[in-house]
Structure 1
C-alpha cells in the first residue's frame, strides 16, 4: 500500500532540523530584539496541579508546569498546530502506518544525568503499556484514549491495545510498533501526557505507585517531588501550603536555554485576585482573562495575547441516571431550548462562534451539513411533551474555582443555560463543585450528574482527538452505550487515506448530531493569556502549549 499523503507530510515535517523548527520569533521579543536574560517570572495559576507525572494528568493547570520540565518525541511549532521535531529529529512510518521509527537527538540528558537513548524511550512506552492496577490505569486518561488498552486491562479499561512493542536497535533509534493504524499518529506522539521521563528516576522514586481511597488518589514521590524530564526548566519545589511551584533553569538543556533564572507558578483561584495582582506587579501573567477585561487590561499597558480558537464547549448529557435522557427527543429538546447565539454574543470573547458539532471548522472531518438546532423554545416544549417529559427535573453540575480556555466563567455560563432550560419547563437542581476538588471525578469517573458543563482544547489537528475522545468508547461522563457509534468512529480512525479519513469523520459528525446527540455543542472561542508589559517572548499557542524558555523579563 503506498504511503498516504498524511504520512508523507508527517515524515517531511519530521525531517526538519531543530534550527528550522525553532522559529526566529521564539528567541526574541515582540519587537524582534534579543530578550533580556535572568530574573524570576511569577505566573498566576487558576488551580493547583494534581501532580507532575505527565501520564497521570489530563488538565491544563498540571500540564503548564509539566511542559516546562519535559519534552516529547514530536512537538508543535510555536504558535501553531504544525508538527515539529522534539526529542526526535526525524520520524517516519511504514506504509501501513503501524511501525514508527524515531531518530533521537544526540547528547540529550535528563535532569538527573541519565542519557536519552532508544532504551530510555522504550522504557517509557513499555511502562505505560504494562501499567498495573485499576487506580493507576484510571488516571491515564490520554493513554487510554490514544492506545485504548493495556497489556492487562484492570478496572474500567476494556479496549484492545493499539501499542505492540518498542525496540531500540541502537542508542539513537527507537522503533514503536502498533497493532493497527490509528489516525492520531504521528501527532499524538506530541501529547504532553506522553512526555519522556528518566527511567532512572522513575525506578528510584516508585513512579507507578498510585493508590485510591474513595474518590481520592495518591501518587508517588516521583510524581510529587522528583519529576525528571529533559526540559528547559527543572523542578525545585512545590509548596502546597503557599500554592507555589518553583522551577529553575536547566543549564544543560539541549535546545534554546531559558532566559529566566526561575519560573514560579502561584495558585490564585479567584480571577479578580489574579487581575489585581497583575496590576500590582506581584505576578507577571495569568491565563484566560475574562473577555470583559481585555480592554481594561490593554489600557493598563498589559499584553493580552489572543490565541487562535481550537476548542469546544459543550453541555454534557448523562443518560445513565435519568431514564428520560435516553430518549433522543428529550436530548433534542434540550438543544432547541438553548439560545446559544445570545450566550456566545454576551458571555464569550470576540471571535467566539456557535458550534454546530464537536470540533472546530479548521479540523479535517468537519461537516457543513449537520442537523442544526436553532433556538426554538416552542419546539423544545413540544418534544418534551411528546416524550412524556414535560415535568423533567435534572441535576446540573458545573465547576467552580476554575477558568478554562473554552469556559471563561463557568458560573455565568451555567446561569444562562439553566435559565433557558427553566423557560421550557425543566426544573434545574444546581450542583457546583470545585474543579480540582471533585468536579471532574464526579462527572467523568462517577457519572453523578444529569447535565454538566465541560469542553476540550484540541491536542492536535485530527478529528479523532475531538469526537473520538468524547464518544469513541463508553464513558461514565455520558452514560452512552450505543456500540454502533463507537464502531463508526473506530472505522473512521482506522482509515489511512486522508480524503477518506475526512469523509468518514464528516459522516460521523452528521450521525452524532442527527441520530445520537449524546451532548450539545455550545461554542468555540479564542482564549487569551495576559502578561505584564515587561514580559516578552511568550508565543500564544492554539493548543495552550506555551513554553517559557523563550520568555524574558526586564526590570520595571
Structure 2
C-alpha cells in the first residue's frame, strides 16, 4: 500500500456532500442477523479503485477492493508482516535465489469454476511477461516491472531488461518460477496483490482486449472497468462496480477453499473522499467502517462507543526535493539546510496520531535494515541559515507542491502539514511559492516527472524488506528526485542483489547511511494510521500493511 502507489488512479472529486451518503445501505442490512444471515457490510473508502484487475494497478484503494477477491501465492500473517502461505501452502528457493518452487493447495476453485493448478499459475506469469503495447507503460505494469523488470520483447529502450526467466508446471500442484538473478524483491514480490492469481479462463478473455494510449492519457481495457470477467479465488467475488454511486459490491463466494467463509453475505466499498464526511456517515449509521481517521477524531469516536483500532507503524512520510526543478537543490548544503529548517518534532506532535515518530531515514524502524548509524539533522533555523549562506543561496526561492482532496495513511492533513513546513522554511529565509494540486492525476504526475522542487509524499510498505522502501527511490536515477549519486545507487544495488538475507540486511544499513549522508530528501515521520468501525460489528484484524481481510468481518 507506497506513496500508497496511486499513480494510475484518477481521483473522484473530494467534495462529496454528506447528504449524498446518508441514503442507502442501512436498510439493506439485517443488523440483528450477523454472521451469514444475509447482511451487508459497508465500508467508507477514501478513493475509488482504478481497476478490477489488480495486475493493472499500483494504488492502495484498488488493492483494498481486489484483495478480497484475489489471492497471491504468498500472503502476510493477519495483523503482521510475516510471510505465510497463500495459494501456495509452502515454498522454497534454490541457494542462488533464482528458482522458486511453490507447493499449491489442493481443492482451490476460481470464481468461474476453474481449478487452481500449476499450469494456471504459469498462465498468469507468462501472460504478464508477454505484455505488449500500452501494457508496457509503467503506469499500468508498475509492479511487474518493479519486481521482474521488462518483458519478453521490450518496446522501449527505457524499459529494464527482464529478470523473469520462466514458469514451469513440475506437476499438477507444483509450480517453479525462475529468474535470471537473485533479487531482494523475492519472495516478498510473490505476495503482491498486483501478482495475485487469476483464472486461466478469465485470462483468455483478457487477451481479447487491450489497454490503449500513451503517457498519462491511458484507457484501461473494458473488462477491468466492470464486473463480470475478472475471476480470482478469494472469499468474495466482485459483483458490481457502480461508478455513478462510487460503489463496488462484492458477494460471498460459497465455494471458497478456506475453512472459514466470509462473515457477511455482501461487502460494499463506498467512496467518501472527505474525512469529515466519512466520520459523519459512520456516526449516522450509513456505513459500518472507514479508513484514515483524522487523529483529532480518534478519541471522540471512542467516547461515542465506536471501535478505532490502530495499525502498526509501517510507513514513511517525506519531503521530496526535485533537483531538476531547481538547480540550487543540487547543492548538498542546500538540501542539508532544508532538512535542518523543518521542525519535524512539531509536525509529529501536532499532526500525527499517538505513536508517530520522527523519521531518521527512508524506512521505519520496523523494517529490517534500519540503521542506528545514519547522519542526523536536528531542527535548527540558525544552522539552516548558515548552510544557505555557505552555499551562496541566502535568497533561495522554491516552488512547494502539496496535494488537495486527499488523505493518506502517512499524511492525514496535507494542507496543515504544508503550512507548518512553509512557516519553518520561511523562518530560515527561504521564499516558498505554494503550488496546491489535485491529488490525481495532477499532483501525482507532477511529482513523478520531477516538476515540483519540493513535494510531500509517503510510502506504506508492501512487505518487510528494506529494498521495498529505499529501492523505490534510490535504485537508480529517478525523475522524481533528479538525484545522481553513484555512491548511493551502488550501495542500494549491492543490497538488492545479495541472496543471503542476513548479509542483505547489513547492506541495507550501509545504504541508509549513504542516503542520509547525501540527504536527497527529508524523511519526516512514521505513524500508525487508525481505522474505525461501528460497535455493531466484529472488525477484521488490522494490518500494518493496510491489507485488511474483510472476510473476517461479521455483525454482532
Change (3 A) 1:122 1:135: closer
1:550 offset after TM fit, Å?
1.0
Listed as ranges, the gaps of 5+ residues in structure 2 are 1-33
Indicate the residue corresponding to 1:374 in structure 2: 378
SS in 2 for 1:69: coil
1:158 offset after TM fit, Å?
3.1
More deviation, 382-391/353-362:
382-391
The yes-or-no answer on 1:425 pairing with 2:429 is yes
Tell me, in whole angstroms, the C-alpha distance in 1 between the residues paired with 2:378 and 2:175.
Answer: 51
Indicate the residue corresponding to 1:171 in structure 2: 172
Change (3 A) 1:156 1:377: farther
Once the two structures are superposed, the pairs formed by residues 173-212 of structure 1 within 5 Å of their partners are 173-206=174-207, 209-212=210-213
Listed as ranges, the gaps of 5+ residues in structure 1 are 1-33
Once the two structures are superposed, the pairs formed by residues 402-417 of structure 1 within 5 Å of their partners are 402-417=406-421
Tell me, in whole angstroms, the C-alpha distance in 2 between the residues paired with 1:77 and 1:135.
Answer: 31
Change (3 A) 1:156 1:354: farther
Counterpart selection for 2:396 from 389, 392, 395: 392
Tell me, in whole angstroms, the C-alpha distance in 2 between the residues paired with 1:453 and 1:433.
Answer: 11
Q: TM-score, normalised by structure 1?
A: 0.90
Q: How many residues align?
A: 519
The yes-or-no answer on 1:507 pairing with 2:510 is yes
Once the two structures are superposed, the pairs formed by residues 86-125 of structure 1 within 5 Å of their partners are 86-125=86-125
1:431 offset after TM fit, Å?
1.9
Change (3 A) 1:443 1:208: farther
Tell me, in whole angstroms, the C-alpha distance in 2 between the residues paired with 1:213 and 1:41.
Answer: 38
Change (3 A) 1:426 1:227: farther
SS in 2 for 1:122: helix
Q: TM-score, normalised by structure 2?
A: 0.90
Indicate the residue corresponding to 2:494 in structure 1: 491
RMSD: 1.7
Deviations 1:165-207 (A, max 9, x none): 1111222111001111112221221011111122321321447
Tell me, in whole angstroms, the C-alpha distance in 2 between the residues paired with 1:379 and 1:154.
Answer: 49
1:538 offset after TM fit, Å?
1.0
1:232 offset after TM fit, Å?
1.0
The yes-or-no answer on 1:359 pairing with 2:360 is no
Tell me, in whole angstroms, the C-alpha distance in 2 between the residues paired with 1:186 and 1:197.
Answer: 19
Tell me, in whole angstroms, the C-alpha distance in 1 between the residues paired with 2:473 and 2:133.
Answer: 24
Indicate the residue corresponding to 1:45 in structure 2: 45
Once the two structures are superposed, the pairs formed by residues 51-62 of structure 1 within 5 Å of their partners are 51-62=51-62
Once the two structures are superposed, the pairs formed by residues 165-314 of structure 1 within 5 Å of their partners are 165-206=166-207, 209-212=210-213, 215-225=216-226, 226-255=229-258, 256-314=260-318
Tell me, in whole angstroms, the C-alpha distance in 2 between the residues paired with 1:210 and 1:389.
Answer: 47
SS in 2 for 1:303: coil
Tell me, in whole angstroms, the C-alpha distance in 1 between the residues paired with 2:211 and 2:513.
Answer: 40
The yes-or-no answer on 1:464 pairing with 2:467 is yes
